[in-house]
């Protein structure tokens, strides 16, 4: 008995998956150069901030010193003018002021009456560069009763040149420091990347014929050990996939070789001598069975290939999974009678699923349970709704317990748990692999348990894409 032909999922899902998996190539510069540049920029920024702070503090200190010096000179001028006020001798006042200004080449002094003539002008007043100026009124009564205004000018050109030299020194120091840190950072980065170069050299020796070979992470720093562990785990999975692929190729060759050999042998025997119409019809009928088996294998392989490429199920509201399961049970009615097995459907659920794919999965599950169930037993088809949406379907049968070592391989392609069964030629071992693929296409997973003669095989169907 053959399963009904069910539509394969559309190819647009596989094409969309191929587009989504495309990698955008981006040009990335050397990690060492990038780190060196960043170190240089950060060092220059940090040193620049420090140098700016030093310059500002120095300028503020010089300004404070200049103001303090002017205040001291104001007090001294006030004292000299107070002493000369009693004598009212202008010549004596000028002599004292000249003595006071000896040794102060950066200081200029002028005395005058507001709105009146100038009483005193220092010899260096015209030579002092514009700088800080301070004026003070002294109660020095001159004929006419006016107070005398003393104006002090402080030459700050030396301090300005000092600040200029300090600024140039700080800028040069920041640039030189940034260059030194950049060069040193480049050397340190190259030395720090030696473990990465070692990993690159190890990966050069990896090849498809050495799938079990792994990277040695014993001498790697702590930051790279998680990467090495993940890469080794990936290599282990790739090795397992490679071995499964090799076994799969051998299984495909074996499954196709047997019916092809039968077809060739039967055809050669039919052509060796003249045969009647009835005899030729029997040969063609036998060949047709083998051709149908080959066609079934090819169609199942195409379906699994599309599922592996990321094809998704076309979802539609399914109001009752129990009703869907009942229609599948009706299709298997003859096989159930031959195996002396009855079916019991328990529970129900509603979900957005691909009805045709779910029907195919249920058909494979029921066919598998029917073949291995104990005659006279009851096969339970359990349907339950999941809290987060979707449904879970389990087919439970009584029979031989599946060894625990076979459970992980139950959904592998061409795997047969009981190779001694005589009907192995009629079933090519792709039924449960298709169940697993349909579960993945519904964002779910297959499940299987077996203990004490009770085997449960089913799948979880997620209600969300």
Q: What integer pLDDT is reported at residue 395 of this predicted model?
A: 93
Task: Supply angle C-alpha 448, 451, 453, rounded to 5.
Answer: 110
Residue spans of the domains in the chain: they are 30-192, 212-306, 313-462
Segment 384-395, tens digit of pLDDT:
998 888 899 999
d(CA 149, CA 116) in angstroms, rounded, equals: 11
Q: Is the dihedral of CA 345, 346, 349, 352 positive or negative?
A: negative
User: How many CB atoms are closer than 10 A to CB 383?
Assistant: 20
Q: Residue 345's beta-bridge partner residues?
A: 381
In tens, the pLDDT along 19-41 reads 444 444 455 567 777 777 888 88
Using CA atoms, how far apart are residues 435 and 437, in angstroms rounded to an integer?
5
Yes or no: say if 148 and 137 are a contact pair by the CB < 8 Å rule: yes
pLDDT digits (tens, 9 = 90+) for 203-239: 887 776 676 778 887 777 887 888 888 888 888 878 7
For the cut 60, the answer to whether the pLDDT of residue 10 exceeds it is no
Burial grade of 61 (CB within 10 A; 0-12, 13-18, 19 or more)? exposed
Q: For residue 137, what are its two tokens?
A: 């009124």
Query: How far apart are alpha carbons 70 and 134 in whole angstroms?
Result: 7
Termini Cα distance of the chain: 34
pLDDT band for 137, please (50, 70, 90 cuts): low
The tokens for 358 are: 């779910």
Higher-pLDDT residue of 440 and 269 is 440
Closest CA to 81 of 136, 20, 153: 136
May I ask the CATH class of domain 313-462?
alpha beta
pLDDT digits 0-9 by tens, 99-110: 777 777 777 888
Whole-angstrom distance, CA of residue 436 vs CA of residue 446: 5
Sheet holding 146-154, edge to edge: 118-121, 107-112, 146-154, 132-142
Sheet holding 378-385, edge to edge: 342-346, 378-385, 390-398, 454-462, 445-451
| Angle CA 96–101–105, to nearest 5 | 165
């Amino acid at each position: 008995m053959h399963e009904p032909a069910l539509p394969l999922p559309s190819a647009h899902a596989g094409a969309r998956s191929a587009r989504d998996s495309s990698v955008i190539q981006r040009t990335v510069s050397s990690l060492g150069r990038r780190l060196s540049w960043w170190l240089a920029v950060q060092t220059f920024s940090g040193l620049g901030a420090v140098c700016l702070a030093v310059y500002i503090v120095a300028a503020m200190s010089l300004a404070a010193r200049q103001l303090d010096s002017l205040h001291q000179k104001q007090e001294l001028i006030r004292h000299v003018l107070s002493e000369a006020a009693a004598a009212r001798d202008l010549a004596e006042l000028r002599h004292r002021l000249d003595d006071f200004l000896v040794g102060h080449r950066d200081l200029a002094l002028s005395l005058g009456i507001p709105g009146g003539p100038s009483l005193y002008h220092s010899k260096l007043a015209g030579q002092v560069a514009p700088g800080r100026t301070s004026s003070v009124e002294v109660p020095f009564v001159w004929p006419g009763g006016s107070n005398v205004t003393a104006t002090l000018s402080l030459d700050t050109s030396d301090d300005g040149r000092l600040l200029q030299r300090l600024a140039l020194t700080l800028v040069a120091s920041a640039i030189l420091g940034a260059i030194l840190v950049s060069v040193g950072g480049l050397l340190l980065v190259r030395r720090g990347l030696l473990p990465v170069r070692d990993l690159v050299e190890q990966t050069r020796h990896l090849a498809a014929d050495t799938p079990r070979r792994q990277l040695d992470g014993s001498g790697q720093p702590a930051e790279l050990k998680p990467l090495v562990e993940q890469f080794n785990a990936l290599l282990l999975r790739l090795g397992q996939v490679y071995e499964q692929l090799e076994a799969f190729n051998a299984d495909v060759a074996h499954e196709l070789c047997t019916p092809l050999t039968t077809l060739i042998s039967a055809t050669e025997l039919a052509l060796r001598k003249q045969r009647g119409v009835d005899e030729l019809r029997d040969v063609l009928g036998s060949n047709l069975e083998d051709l149908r088996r080959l066609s079934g294998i090819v169609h199942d392989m195409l379906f699994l290939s599309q599922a592996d490429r990321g094809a998704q199920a076309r979802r539609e509201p399914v109001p009752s999974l129990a009703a869907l399961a009942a229609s599948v049970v009706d299709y298997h009615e003859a096989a159930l009678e031959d195996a002396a097995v009855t079916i019991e459907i328990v529970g129900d659920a509603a979900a957005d699923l691909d009805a045709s794919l779910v029907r195919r999965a249920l058909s494979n599950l029921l066919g598998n349970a029917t073949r291995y169930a104990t005659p006279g037993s009851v096969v339970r088809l359990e349907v339950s709704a999941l809290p987060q949406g979707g449904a879970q379907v389990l087919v439970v049968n009584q029979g031989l317990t599946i060894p625990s070592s076979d459970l992980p391989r139950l959904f592998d392609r061409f795997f047969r748990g009981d190779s001694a069964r005589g009907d192995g030629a009629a079933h090519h071992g792709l039924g449960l692999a298709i169940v697993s693929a349909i579960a993945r296409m519904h964002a779910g997973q297959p499940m299987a348990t077996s203990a004490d003669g009770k085997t449960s095989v089913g799948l979880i169907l997620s209600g969300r894409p």
